[in-house]
Chain A
Amino acid sequence: KNEVEQSPQNLTAQEGEFITINCSYSVGISALHWLQQHPGGGIVSLFMLSSGKKKHGRLIATINIQEKHSSLHITASHPRDSAVYICAVCKKTSYDKVIFGPGTSLSVIP
């Protein structure tokens, strides 16, 4: 069983839809990242969370430490949001090792 899992694996949405991507993990963490990777490889860090909720523009990220679960929400989705969204956790070890989830491939259709 992977230490970090995401759902759904693939997602197709119509422009304007509200989108939710989920991440669950099975290890103790010090922080969780939501990352966006566009075709070609570049990765952008969207959020780093250790508790609660963060909002940036149309993006909202929440985390529930007790339930070991985080969600990324996109409001009023747009075709430029099409990308792979990756959840990554920083393990509570002395080495702060980062473990990546498998990613959710999002395609927003005009």
Chain B
Amino acid sequence: ETGVTQSPTHLIKTRGQQVTLRCSSQSGHNTVSWYQQALGQGPQFIFQYYREEENGRGNFPPRFSGLQFPNYSSELNVNALELDDSALYLCASSSGLQETQYFGPGTRLLVL
């Protein structure tokens, strides 16, 4: 049990729709990172938020966006969903940059 929760656990959307995934971090964790893991592949870094500001971004288009809130929760928003967005989306929080990351259980998104 890492103390990091994600919602929903599973989600089905159709191409072109928008989706919001949520992550609730441990109290005091000011850093959250989001990852996309396609089936059979390793996780890919989407972006990181530190003290509510974006602090780094991987090779993902602007339709992937995020927010981090003062209550240690965060969101990943994906607009104009594409079939290839089907994946497991993981968030991980830590008490600071370069600290141990604690992973949530993930949200499994299926885009039809």
Chain A residues with a Cβ under 8 A of chain B: 30-31, 33, 35, 41-45, 48, 86, 88, 90, 93-103
Is B106 close to A, CB under 8 A?
yes
The stretch of B22-30, B66-74, B93-101 in contact with A is B93-101
Interface contacts (Cβ under 8 Å), in number, total 62
Which residues of chain B come closer than 8 Å to A31, judged between CB atoms?
98
Cβ-closest chain A residue relative to B31: A96
Which residues of chain B come closer than 8 Å to A45, judged between CB atoms?
2, 100-103
| Chain B interface size, under 10 / 10 to 19 / 20 to 34 / 35 or more | 20 to 34
Give the docked Cα–Cα distance between A102 and B41 (Å): 7
Could you show 30 A-B contacts with beta carbons less than 8 Å apart? Answer: A31-B98, A33-B100, A35-B103, A41-B37, A41-B106, A42-B103, A42-B105, A42-B106, A43-B90, A43-B103, A43-B106, A44-B2, A45-B100, A45-B101, A45-B103, A48-B100, A86-B43, A88-B43, A94-B56, A95-B55, A95-B57, A96-B48, A96-B97, A97-B56, A98-B35, A98-B101, A100-B35, A100-B42, A102-B42, A103-B42
Chain B residues with a Cβ under 8 A of chain A: 2, 33, 35, 37, 41-45, 48, 55-58, 88, 90, 92, 97-103, 105-106, 108
A41 with B56: in contact, given A30-B98, A102-B42 (CB under 8 Å)?
Answer: no
Give the docked Cα–Cα distance between A26 and B108 (Å): 31
Which residues of chain A come closer than 8 Å to B90, judged between CB atoms?
41, 43
CB <8 Å contact, B42 and A96: no
Q: In the assembled complex, how far is the CB of residue A88 from the closest CB belonging to chain B, in whole angstroms?
A: 8
Interface centre among B42, B90, B105 (most CB of A within 10 A): B42
CB <8 Å contact, A100 and B44: yes
Among A35, A42, A95, A101, point to the contact of B48 (Cβ < 8 A).
A95
